[in-house]
Amino acid sequence: MIPLFFVALSVIGERKVDLCPLVRVSFTMRYSVRILALLLGLLALIFTPAAYANGKTLTGKVMQVKDGDTVVISPEDGGQFFVCRLYGIDAPETAHLRFGKGGQRFGEEASRELKRLILGQTVEVTTTGQKTYKREVCLIKKDGQDINLEMIKRGYAWAYRQHLKRPYTSEYIEAENEARSKRLGLWKDNNPSPPWEFRKQQRGK
């Protein structure tokens, strides 16, 4: 979209402009248009969220934990902050008071658990190339520990079967089954409602 806009500006810059029906003054805005195009390009780079290719691995610091499966990463190389949605897991929804939306049981507990694990810590982030609601989908490791998997093991997230792929599928599902059998975290409830069902109900209201 932006390159097409620049082309349009260049074309306009080369056209002759009639300032008066009687006196036709021809001039070019070539240099002013080029400067404007350059400034717009720089602004686009500044304000466009960071995007990473499939399988890119980087080191960054966890600046914020938004909920039990979403964090904000500051790349160690000085790149833009970006929002990371943990791959293959789905944690209970937290309340969004700003939008008047209630949360699920264990939503706040899941958020606190993720904070204990990685908030303020330097982690290894591997992007999948997927995006959801402008968030990069990522795998996070701390000192070699799979944090996504750890949240399932501790009973604070479901294995997100709809989006799981090999080689993670069996390991994540097995971790969920084990946490459920031990009644850890959210599995203290007999029949907790999965977040995807909760979100569907919320959209229907």
The pLDDT tens digits for 54-89 are 679 999 999 999 999 999 999 998 889 999 999 999
- To the nearest whole number, what is the mean pLDDT of the chain? 79
pLDDT value of residue 95: 81
Q: How many CB atoms neighbour CB 127 within 10 A?
A: 23
Domain boundaries defined on the chain = 2-47, 57-203
Residue 83 Cα distances to 137, 175, 205, angstroms:
9, 25, 28
- In 3D, which of 9, 11, 17 has the Cα closest to residue 38? 9
pLDDT at 44 over 80: no
pLDDT at 7 over 80: no
Q: Which CATH architecture has domain 57-203?
A: Beta Barrel (2.40)
If 0-12 CB within 10 Å is exposed, 13-18 middle and 19+ buried, where does residue 194 land? middle
pLDDT value of residue 133: 79
Active site residues: 85, 93, 135
Q: What pTM does this model have?
A: 0.70
The pLDDT tens digits for 94-108 are 886 444 567 788 999
